[in-house]
């Protein structure tokens, strides 16, 4: 089945490229921010257990997880503001032009940083609605890694400013954060991308309709270039939601 997007792009809906990481209660689940793995377990009422293999008519599980630390998630500027903003209210469109780029972060003192120059070079003048950053080396271990206390690579503040000034509204990356793991709460890349100048009193030109998606994984055989992105979230009234970003090749 094929679909036409904005009368300009045709995509084959039967060929999705899922760049999300599944959430599970196993040790294979990625973890960040000093958390334990998610919990998925049946409800118990007295002698009743919500599990068919234990005599129930249905499987009936509770799930305990944190969207920021347990896998692919999409967040709005409510992640860093005093005033409450919900991803479910900020993200109202779900299909976007997207550019997939691969970048090997540069070593700067003790950090690995994605620089403005690298972003500018990789985009080569293109101005998509969304940017998907795949970091190199693209190890499959990203799908299962415990990132806590590892100081993962992150995005330079001026790189985030460039992305914002390019008109890109949706930033996707295969890291647990666009900012340094421990940065004294500065969150420079988050603030630069969303144009948040004061978290206590939000400026009028802050980007309410822009999102950051973290902890994606793009398989090695997916080539850099232009795609259509379908950015799917669960309808949580929260600053962030687990999400399922899906790419479609242009035809």
What distance in Å separates the CA atoms of residue 159 and residue 179, rounded to the nearest whole number? 11
Residue 5 is predicted with a pLDDT of: 73
**39 CB-contact burial (10 Å; exposed 0-12 / middle 13-18 / buried 19+):** exposed
Full set of structural domains in the chain with CATH: 2-23+67-249 (3.50.30.50)
Q: Which pairing describes strands 170-173 and 61-64: parallel, antiparallel, or unpaired?
A: unpaired
Written as tens digits, the pLDDT of the chain (251 aa) is 777 776 677 899 999 999 999 999 999 999 999 999 999 999 999 999 999 999 999 999 999 999 999 999 999 999 999 999 999 999 999 999 999 999 999 999 999 999 999 999 999 999 999 999 999 999 999 999 999 999 999 999 999 999 999 999 999 999 999 999 999 999 999 999 999 999 999 999 999 999 999 999 999 999 999 999 999 999 999 999 999 999 999 98
Please enumerate in sequence order all residues whose Cβ is within 8 A of that of 202, keeping only pairs 6 or more positions apart, or say none. 77, 81, 83, 196
The pLDDT score that the predictor gives to residue 9 is 78
CA atoms of 37 and 3, how far apart (whole Å): 38
Give how far the C-alpha of residue 100 lies from the chain's centroid of Cα atoms, to the nearest Å. Answer: 14
* CA atoms of 178 and 212, how far apart (whole Å): 8
- Count of Cβ atoms closer than 10 Å to residue 170 Cβ: 25
Q: How far apart are CA 157 and CA 3, in angstroms?
A: 37
Bridge partners of residue 100, in order along the sequence? 132, 225
Cα–chain center distance at 13: 22
Sign of the torsion formed by the C-alpha atoms of 9, 242, 156 and 146: negative
* pTM of the predicted structure, to 2 decimals: 0.96
Distance in angstroms (rounded) separating the CA atoms of residues 227 and 251 = 9
Q: What is the DSSP letter of 237?
A: S
- Please tell me the distance from the alpha carbon of residue 21 to that of residue 53, in angstroms, as a whole number: 27
């Amino acid at each position: 089945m094929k679909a036409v997007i904005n009368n300009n792009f045709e995509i084959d809906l039967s060929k999705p490229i899922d760049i999300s990481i599944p959430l599970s209660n196993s040790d294979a689940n990625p973890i960040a921010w000093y958390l334990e793995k998610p919990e998925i377990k049946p409800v118990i009422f007295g002698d009743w257990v919500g599990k068919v293999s234990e005599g129930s008519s249905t499987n009936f599980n509770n799930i305990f997880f944190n969207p920021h630390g347990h896998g692919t998630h999409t967040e709005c500027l409510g992640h860093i503001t005093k005033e409450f903003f919900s991803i479910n209210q900020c993200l109202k469109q779900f299909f976007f032009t997207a550019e997939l780029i691969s970048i090997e972060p540069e070593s700067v003192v003790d950090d690995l940083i994605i620089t403005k120059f690298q972003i500018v070079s990789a985009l080569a003048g293109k101005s998509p609605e969304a940017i998907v950053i795949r970091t190199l080396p693209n190890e499959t271990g990203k799908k299962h890694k415990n990132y806590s206390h590892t100081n993962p690579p992150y995005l330079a503040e001026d790189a985030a400013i460039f992305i914002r000034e390019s008109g890109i509204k949706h930033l996707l990356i295969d890291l647990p954060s666009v900012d340094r793991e421990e940065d004294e709460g500065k969150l420079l890349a988050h603030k630069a991308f969303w144009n948040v100048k004061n978290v206590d009193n939000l400026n009028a030109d802050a980007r309410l309709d822009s999102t950051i998606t973290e902890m994606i994984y793009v398989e090695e055989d997916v080539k850099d270039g232009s795609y259509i992105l379908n950015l799917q979230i669960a309808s949580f009234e929260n600053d962030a939601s687990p999400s399922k970003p899906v790419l479609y090749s242009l035809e």
